[in-house]
Amino acid sequence: MPEIGRRKALGVAGVAVGGLALAGCGGGGAAAEGPAPGIKGQVIAKAADVPVGGGTVVQKWKIVVTQPKEGEFKAFSAVCTHKGCAVGSPKDGVLTCPCHGSEFDAGSGKCLKGPATAPLAVYQVKLEGDGIVVV
């Protein structure tokens, strides 16, 4: 069996580590699909806690719930598609990630400004009484 020299072994290790590091630095992850396990059918917020033109982040479920127009509720993953930081509550119709400055539309979850390139995952919700429920 041929011996591998020190330089060659270090070079191979460097390429492997470098490749892993680059894979971890990807700029545009895909949006998550579907609701988190156990969330379907759950009341994630009260309608009264979601201001018109604003929203709230539900830490327990890592979801942001918005109300772009009176009576119209939207829900998105609060996890930024760039590096996984939590976006903040919407301001002026925009959800902003505090880690790297990515911005998302509070009415659609669409990415408005990078470094993220993918939209936030969308959760279908409906109003049941005074509760907002994931369907």
Q: What are the structural domains, with CATH classification, of the chain?
A: 28-134 (2.102.10.10)
Q: What is the pLDDT of residue 38?
A: 75
Q: What is the pLDDT of residue 24?
A: 33
Kindly state the helix (H) or strand (E) to which residue 14 belongs, with its residue range: helix 6-24
Residue 1 confidence class, pLDDT cut points 50, 70, 90: low
Residues 45-86 have pLDDT tens digits of: 999 999 999 999 999 989 999 999 999 999 999 999 998 889
For 102, residues 6+ apart whose C-beta sits below 8 A from its C-beta are 80, 81, 82, 87, 96, 111, 113, 114, 115, 116
Residues 86-117 have pLDDT tens digits of: 999 999 999 999 999 999 999 999 999 999 99
